[in-house]
Chains A and B, each alone.
Chain A
Amino acid sequence: MKIALVNLPKFDCDTAPLALAILQSIAKKHDHDTEVYDLNVDLMHKVQEDQSLSGLWHLETKTGFSTVKKVVAFFDSYMDRLLTADMIAVSFFSFYSVAYGDLFLWRLRNKGFKGTVVVGGPGVSRFLQYTEKFLARRLIDYYVTGDGEVAFEKILTNDLPYLGVNNSNHIAINDLDNLPLPNFAGFNLEAYPRIANQLTLAIEGSRGCVRDCTFCDIKLLFQKYRYKSGARIFDEALNIVSNYGVTKIWFTDSLVNGNVKEFRNLLRLLAAYNKSVPSTKRIEWTSQYIIRPQKQYIEEDFQLLRDSGCYTLATGLESYSESVRRHLGKNFSNDDVRYFLNKCQEYDIRTFIMMIVGYPTETEKDFQDTLSFFDEFAHLADDNTITGVQLGQTMLVIPNTSIAENKDQLGITLDDNINVPLDKRWKNENSDTKTRVLRRLMAQKHAMEKGFQIRHDESQMMMFKRWFHDR
């Protein structure tokens, strides 16, 4: 059977999509031919090359006829090849993929595709109401919720029904060590952004999160925390180095150090490997990481981070108010933060800090505490121990998360500002949309004055201004 593996827009990709590489591996295991179509990266390049096409990247808001026509024309450029496939497996990464998916799937059938269409990914699991409609309109034959590996194999071998195929009763795969190694053959790796001027490939070391932060939807997506052993992750790293010549790795985990024992094992293996090869062949990696209480660290942890090739740890500090952080579910103290960041400086490990402005319990005093972070750690911004800060779009209340479930307790009601998306349009005694926008801008200003690099762009600024106005 010939299977086309399709990645839909849109998300800001850093590396080749892991989902397609895993699906390809499973398809190859059953002797199927595969072709990879990453429409996300293709569209990203198209828009970068011609700014007049920027609307194509914002299909969720640009629903005008001319944009839709252009997106359809973009999809049409792949149709001749896609129509030769027997099965098309489509990956929906997020909510944004739904709008593109609707058009893509419609066009596929409209062009006469008679084969099997399977969709999966977080954009399917989290927004099932849209997927159900695709099924009802016969645009798709199967949708997969939750972990896709076993379900996809069941579809390929026609071993159905199965939990998670055309229903939401998926079961989490516990043994990640036995999943096939991702297969990036046929990917145009050169098309992906380079990190520090080097090709980067992704490895998924775990699914889910050991924390249960009130604002986060990771638990809804992945159910429980599962992890690969350090030895298995190391094998994947070697697979990437030997088969694709890539030495830069991005661990896609919600937090790479969820299981401290396996994480240390991995770092020891990577450190030993890096010691045994010339500097040009050394593995370097980056990931999201959770700060742990100081008492959980041993000195070796920082040596291993450095020697294993860690070049940046992205960590969700969220707030420099201990009470806010405690409420949202991160139980490390400001002393723990100090210890961690100073150790990172000592061992030349770079960090990237993620923060939330306007958490529902954040008072003006809490906000001032967060601002004090930029005063206290300005020296670490200067010397690039903290390479940047992401302040986000202010606190959003994601449906079904713990914070959304406890709205009444937190006094959260709907703000009447119609310019603000629903999940960010809320108020309580501590803040409303305007307060949060002001705090967000003040945080950015203060951080920049102290020398911090802030990830932002002009369109974000326009968005905040728009939110500020009621009409």
Chain B
Amino acid sequence: MTDNLILDLDYEWVVEPIRARIVLNDLVLHEGLLDKNRYECNIQLLEDNCLRVYLLNKPRGSTKVDQAGNILKDTYINISNIKINDRKFRYAINDCGKVVNNDGSIFPHSSKICFEGYYEINFTAPIGKFLQNYYSPFGYNKDVEKSIQSLTETIESLK
């Protein structure tokens, strides 16, 4: 069974167009100039998966600032949407992701690549289960399997 991946990226550049690499596990999904905002492909997910988006070039002068130091325009890639098998990652993009710069600095819970480096998110398949686990602290169902078991027993006893 193949899995459908949609990756939406926002990006801007100042000096030169961005070159990027998008890698899922060992599979390079894109390498070269970023020339669109949406990348879509059919892939085969593993039990444990790692998606990386690399910003490969940010030469000097790629951040425009005014005299007060305020950024006027920057070169960056922002991961705005990850959707797999029709399920959106939403907040999990940030909460489960991190940005690693080439100088070794790590920014957990981040989805905006502002230096040469990469964004990384690790997730398990099936995606539905992964997202259910992610959202479970905010939901009503605390012990789903136990609740389902209890419901099954109740239904059987009442039939």
Q: In the bound complex, do residue A437 and residue B152 qualify as a contact, i.e. CB atoms below 8 Å apart?
A: no
B71 to chain A, nearest CB (A): 17
A379 contacts chain B at the CB level, 8 A cutoff: yes
B123 contacts chain A at the CB level, 8 A cutoff: no
Q: Which residues of B contact A348 (CB under 8 A)?
A: 88, 90
Q: In the bound complex, do residue B140 and residue A379 qualify as a contact, i.e. CB atoms below 8 Å apart?
A: no
Q: In the bound complex, do residue A438 and residue B159 qualify as a contact, i.e. CB atoms below 8 Å apart?
A: yes
A379 with B85: in contact, given A384-B135, A438-B158, A441-B155 (CB under 8 Å)?
Answer: yes
Nearest-neighbor residue (CB-CB) of A378 within chain B: B128
Total A-B residue contacts, Cβ distance less than 8 Å: 64
Nearest-neighbor residue (CB-CB) of B135 within chain A: A384
If over half of A's interface residues share one DSSP class (helix, strand or loop), that class is named, otherwise mixed; here it is helix
A321 contacts chain B at the CB level, 8 A cutoff: no
Q: Which residues of A contact B158 (CB under 8 A)?
A: 434, 437-438, 441, 465, 468
Question: Once the chains are docked, how many angstroms separate the CA of A381 from the CA of B139?
Answer: 11
Stretch at the interface among B30-38, B39-47, B104-112, B143-151: B143-151
User: 1/0 contact trace for B77-121 toward A, CB 8 Å?
Assistant: 000000001111110000000000000000000000000000000
Q: In the bound complex, do residue A388 and residue B152 qualify as a contact, i.e. CB atoms below 8 Å apart?
A: no
Q: In the bound complex, do residue B87 and residue A441 qualify as a contact, i.e. CB atoms below 8 Å apart?
A: no
Question: Once the chains are docked, how many angstroms separate the CA of A382 from the CA of B151?
Answer: 21
Q: In the bound complex, do residue B86 and residue A445 qualify as a contact, i.e. CB atoms below 8 Å apart?
A: no
A223 contacts chain B at the CB level, 8 A cutoff: no
The count of chain B contact residues (Cβ–Cβ below 8 Å) is: 25
Q: In the bound complex, do residue A445 and residue B85 qualify as a contact, i.e. CB atoms below 8 Å apart?
A: no
Contact of B88 among A345, A451, A461 (CB under 8 A): A345
A448 with B144: in contact, given A378-B128, A382-B131, A465-B154 (CB under 8 Å)?
Answer: yes
Number of contact residues on A: which range applies?
20 to 34
Within A363-416, which residues are at the interface with B (CB < 8 Å)? 378-379, 381-385, 387-388
Nearest-neighbor residue (CB-CB) of A385 within chain B: B88
A100 to chain B, nearest CB (A): 28
B132 contacts chain A at the CB level, 8 A cutoff: yes
Q: In the bound complex, do residue B86 and residue A379 qualify as a contact, i.e. CB atoms below 8 Å apart?
A: yes
A442 contacts chain B at the CB level, 8 A cutoff: yes
B18 contacts chain A at the CB level, 8 A cutoff: no
B109 to chain A, nearest CB (A): 16
B35 to chain A, nearest CB (A): 23
Binding site for B on A (CB under 8 A): 345, 348, 378-379, 381-385, 387-388, 434, 437-438, 441-442, 444-445, 448-449, 451, 453-456, 461, 464-465, 468
Told that A384-B90, A441-B158 touch, could you supply 8 new A-B pairs with CB distance under 8 A?
A: A382-B128, A382-B131, A383-B88, A438-B158, A441-B155, A445-B155, A448-B141, A454-B141
